[in-house]
């Protein structure tokens, strides 16, 4: 079985002064301090992981921790500030709009707990 998803150093910073905010993150400044000084919000910082074929991968965390942002970055519903995403060996950031549509249709699904799910169906049937 091979790697179907590889995320490397994925970062998303919302706002106009992203370079300054990124430098502050690297200096271990708090999200509050970064927001106050730059007006930027850190959505995801330096995410790294791989998902193997056949593996069930779950993203869990507290409200506001960046789970939904991470998923939207993977399927490029929002653009990353930096980092790389590969789905089935293809670099997502280099895909055309048509290629992205196909990946979204056939390779990536999102299921949000307690939202729009059919209780009598499995996780896969709900995707």
Q: Which pLDDT value is given to residue 5?
A: 95
Domain ranges of the chain: 3-10+46-106
| Euclidean distance between CA atoms 67 and 4, whole angstroms | 19
Contact (Cβ atoms closer than 8 angstroms) between residue 85 and residue 73:
yes
Q: What is the dihedral of CA 53, 10, 8, 106, to 10 degrees?
A: 30
Per-residue tens of pLDDT for the chain, all 127 residues: 799 999 999 999 999 999 999 999 999 999 999 999 999 999 999 999 999 998 888 888 898 899 999 999 999 999 999 999 999 999 998 999 999 999 988 888 776 666 667 778 887 787 6
Q: Which pLDDT value is given to residue 51?
A: 95
Q: Which pLDDT value is given to residue 112?
A: 65
Contact (Cβ atoms closer than 8 angstroms) between residue 47 and residue 72:
no
Q: Which pLDDT value is given to residue 113?
A: 63
Q: Which pLDDT value is given to residue 116?
A: 67
| Euclidean distance between CA atoms 16 and 13, whole angstroms | 9
Which residue is associated with the tokens 């280099």?
94
Q: Which pLDDT value is given to residue 115?
A: 63
| Euclidean distance between CA atoms 127 and 121, whole angstroms | 10
């Amino acid at each position: 079985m091979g790697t179907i998803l590889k995320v490397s150093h994925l970062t998303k910073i919302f706002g106009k002064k992203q370079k300054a905010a990124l430098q502050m993150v690297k200096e271990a400044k708090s999200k509050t301090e970064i927001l106050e000084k730059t007006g930027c919000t850190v959505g995801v910082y330096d995410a790294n992981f791989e998902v193997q074929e056949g593996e069930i991968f779950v993203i869990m965390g507290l409200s506001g921790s960046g789970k939904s942002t991470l998923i939207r970055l993977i399927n490029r519903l929002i653009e990353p500030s930096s980092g790389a995403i590969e789905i089935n060996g293809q670099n997502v950031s280099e895909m055309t709009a048509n290629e992205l549509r196909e990946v979204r249709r056939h390779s990536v699904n999102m299921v949000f707990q307690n939202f729009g799910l059919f209780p009598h169906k499995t996780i896969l049937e709900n995707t």
